[in-house]
Chain A
């Protein structure tokens, strides 16, 4: 009986643990990550500029960066980092999109 009880309790604990961990992750103030975030935001901002210089910026990049800075102010470093990385990825994708279409020909359906 006792053994069973203990094992169920243990199983219950196991079930609960991941949720606790996830919740803690978002609210925790990891001031140590400040530098890493600053770097990520700077990289994203540079990538955004580069995309804009060829007319390839996507719509929401600026919004992601604003949100990242806001989240960082509230100490939500994980969220901020995610947003900064997303902004950088989109900016690079927008730049590549333009580079892949340097010369446009009329599409085949117009020929």
Chain B
């Protein structure tokens, strides 16, 4: 193997490594973005139908504005339980049971919980 060939290969490998690293960070950002997207779109969370959420428009007024969530829900699990099935806490809640009825799958639900918890 000639030197020049091996350096070019080396370069490619480095590039590959760099792009793998990049992919890593952008995937993290994606996860956040993903949670927001899932919470906002009508066919998924559609939380805006009822909740005001910063960054969303045409929000409904059925539920309280979702702000300062870590103060309201110091424990992430408690927040997750509300989104999983709100009728456990309030049998008359109109909020759809996103987890219990698999409106969101496990991954999607976790992404939404992360997004909401950071509001």
Smallest CB gap from A107: residue in B: B92
Nearest CB of B to A11, in Å: 9
Instruction: Name the A residues within 8 Å of B101 (CB-CB).
Output: 93
- Size class of B's contact patch? under 10
Does B9 reach chain A (CB closer than 8 Å)?
yes
Instruction: Name the A residues within 8 Å of B119 (CB-CB).
Output: none
**Given A1, A2, A15, which contacts B20 in the complex, CB threshold below 8 Å?**
A15
Per-position 1/0 for A24-46, Cβ under 8 A of B = 00000000000000000000000
Instruction: Name the A residues within 8 Å of B16 (CB-CB).
Output: 8, 12
Nearest CB of A to B41, in Å: 17
Instruction: Name the B residues within 8 Å of A93 (CB-CB).
Output: 101-102
**In terms of DSSP, what is the predominant structure of the interface of chain A?**
helix
Does A109 reach chain B (CB closer than 8 Å)?
yes
Does B6 reach chain A (CB closer than 8 Å)?
yes
Does A103 reach chain B (CB closer than 8 Å)?
no
A residues with CB within 8 A of B = 1-2, 5, 8, 12, 15, 89-90, 93, 107-109
Closest 9 A/B residue pairs (Cβ): A8-B13, A107-B92, A93-B101, A1-B6, A108-B92, A5-B9, A12-B16, A89-B102, A5-B6
**9 more A-B contacts (CB under 8 A) besides A1-B6, A8-B13, A107-B92?**
A2-B1, A5-B9, A5-B13, A8-B16, A89-B102, A93-B101, A93-B102, A108-B92, A109-B92
